[in-house]
Amino acid sequence: MISLQVCIDNTDSDAYFREYQGQLVGLGVQPSVHHLLCHDEKIVGIEGHFHHDGVVDSSFALTEKISIQDAVDLIATLIESYIRCYHCVRIIFHTNDQQLVHAYRANAVRCEKNGFIYDVEAYRLQLENDVFDERGYIINQGKMESIPFGWFNTRDKGCGWIAAYNLLKLNGKNILMKDVLAGLKRFTFIGNLLGQEKISLYFWLKKQGLNAHISAGTNAKIIKKMCASKSGILLYIHRHNAHYVAYEVCKDGRIHFYNAIYGKKNHIMTASEFLSENSFIPLSSLIYID
Give the tens place of pLDDT for each residue, 1-55: 899 999 988 899 999 999 999 999 888 777 889 999 999 989 999 999 999 999 9
Total domains in the chain come to 2
Instruction: Tell me the HSE value of 96 on the side-chain side, using a 13 A CA sphere.
Output: 11
Q: Are 158 and 147 in contact (CB under 8 A)?
A: yes
> Is the Cβ–Cβ distance between 88 and 54 less than 8 Å?
yes
Domain that holds residue 206: 125-289
Which has more confidence, 61 or 197? Answer: 61
Partners of 5 in the β-ladder: 36
Q: Which of 120, 139, 170 is the last residue of a domain?
A: 120
CATH of the domain at 248: 3.90.70.10
Give the predicted TM-score (pTM) of the model.
Answer: 0.93
| Whether 17 and 54 share a structural domain | yes
Kindly give, in sequence order, each residue whose CB lies less than 8 Å from that of residue 250, ignoring residues fewer than 6 positions away: 256, 268
Tell me: do 223 and 106 sit in the same domain.
no
> Do residues 172 and 282 share a domain?
yes
Edge-to-edge strands of the sheet including 90-93? 2-6, 33-39, 42-52, 55-62, 90-93, 115-119, 110-112
- Convert 73-83 to b/e letters by CB count within 10 Å (16 or more is b): bbbbbbbbbbb
Radius of gyration of the chain (CA): 20
Instruction: Say whether both 198 and 268 belong to one domain.
Output: yes
Cα–Cα nearest to 199, from 219, 222, 215, 175:
215
Show which of 120, 138, 165 is a domain's final residue: 120
For the stretch 233-248, pLDDT in tens is 999 998 878 999 999 9
184 and 45 assigned to the same domain: no
Same domain, 102 and 233: no
Domain boundary (86, 120, 154) is at 120
